[in-house]
Amino acid sequence: MNVYDSARMSDVLRPLGYQPVDLPDAADMIILNTCHIRDKAAEKVFSELGRLRLIKEARKAEGQQTIIAVAGCVAQAEGQEILTRAPYVDIVLGPQTYHRLPEMVARAARAGGAVIDTDFPAEQKFDFLPEAAAPQTKGNYTSFLTIQEGCDKFCSFCVVPYTRGAESSRPVTSVLAEARRMAESGVQDITLLGQNVNAYHGEGPDGTVWGLAQLAYELAKIPGLSRIRYSTSHPRDMDDALINAHRDLPELMPFLHLPVQSGSDRILAAMNRGHTADQYRDIVLKLRAVRPDLALSSDFIVGHPGETDEDFEATMQLVRDVKFALAYSFKYSQRPGTPAAGAPLQVPEDVKDARLQALQALLRQQQDEFNATLVGKTIPVLFTGEGRKPGQIVGRSPWLQPIHVQGPHSLIGQTFSVKVTERLTNSLSGELVEETEYA
Ligand code: 5AD
Ligand code: SF4
């Protein structure tokens, strides 16, 4: 979502005369868009700021001003601390106030002091942002589109409800208009974004509340949008309407990121996830019944407070049962202000390390097995650009793997049938079956 947010910040600043540059040394303003989800991500901000300070000083010596802004969730959570630790920062803004950037820039330039805006304003930023700019360069065939933000679920370990704020959905008309503009500019593969995207409940044009399933049926009607994805979903919001949309809509890609975090019911309860491991297994069965080629990806946390060897084994068992095509796994990180941070029975670091290694080995093996099932198959590939080697083009499979093929540039921006010939660690290679467009 930070990628999407950064693009929208550029949209807001363009009317002021700002445009993107390649290197920070050439920038009149540098915005660091930050993530607070784990300690490591948050700490990175301060080391990065140290580098930016040097750039600011070097430019100052040449008589040039540089505005440094810190945006995103670290700004939201640690606004004051940022100004204390990095007094050369000019602007601190949270994820819900970036529509006010022009005003903040003017204030920073005028007053010369730091400007801080980490409100959760009553107004929705989307009502105040300019239209998302059409992709500036030809070749944006894939795009993100935020439809929902924030979270009311309060998992024990997670900062999101505090940094992104309460759960809220954009109105249907505004989402459809943005999707249509994207499609008109050439986007074919769209990923709907939200911290709890399947909790989407936007106001419909008819005044009723629409869920994600209803929205997906409408998006699928937009000419040119041939691939629809959404991320990240919560198992509790995976309702029958959405499962059936996977049955009905070929545009809904057969790849779903559905984090489970743990396979132990005890830990799932401690995490306040609101479902059991078997309920997760059932959702997966239902999804695969309507869409047999559906592949799953997930997030896992090892070493949540109270996690025993037996709990961890339950996670390993769930992984063996479900079989994931892709997964992200993390050691539990204590986040200030979250309920789990102060919980007794914190798991020692070396135990977390060992569990993470075991889990990641299993997940890597499953990713490799999934990729192996595609070798020899013919799949539709949307070509998005040039490959690294001469004569090569690269595209995206329905399951998000990059796939390299020998082929002419003229195919970029179109979908063709490709026979997968080889699996590499994080990508595939293949051969064009025939130079006719995939129907
Ligand atoms: N420690 C480790 N991982 C976390 N995540 C969220 N909060 C924490 C934390 N405190 C992980 C979850 C979530 C993903 C985005 O980040 O797995 O799904
Ligand atoms: Fe965080 Fe997701 Fe839980 Fe919300 S549902 S608190 S975003 S992990």
What's residue 134's pLDDT?
Answer: 54
Round to whole Å and give the CA distance between 39 and 26. Answer: 30
Residue 125 CB less than 6 A away from ligand 1:
no
**Are 90 and 70 spatial neighbours (Cβ–Cβ below 8 Å)?**
no
pLDDT digits (tens, 9 = 90+) for 35-60: 999 999 888 999 999 999 999 999 99
Cα separations (Å) of 74 from 16, 81, 161, 164, 179?
A: 26, 10, 13, 10, 29
Round to whole Å and give the CA distance between 189 and 86. Answer: 40
Q: Which residues of 44-179 form beta strands (DSSP E)?
A: 67-72, 91-93, 115-117, 142-146, 148-149, 168-169
Residue 153 CB less than 6 A away from ligand 2:
yes
* Ligand 2 atom nearest to CA at 261: 8
Ligand number with the minimum distance to the CA of 332: 1
Residue 155 CB less than 6 A away from ligand 2:
yes
pLDDT digits (tens, 9 = 90+) for 102-147: 999 999 888 777 888 888 887 788 888 887 765 534 468 999 999 9
pLDDT digits (tens, 9 = 90+) for 247-298: 999 999 999 999 999 999 999 999 999 999 999 999 999 999 999 999 999 9
Residue 330 CB less than 6 A away from ligand 1:
yes
Round to whole Å and give the CA distance between 65 and 116. Answer: 19
pLDDT digits (tens, 9 = 90+) for 133-184: 655 344 689 999 999 999 999 999 999 999 999 999 999 999 999 999 999 9
Give the tokens for residue 129: 């942002």
Ligand number with the minimum distance to the CA of 151: 2
* Ligand 1 atom nearest to CA at 340: 10
**Is residue 193 over pLDDT 90?**
yes
Residues whose CB falls within 8 Å of the CB of residue 62, separated by 6 or more in sequence, listed in order: none
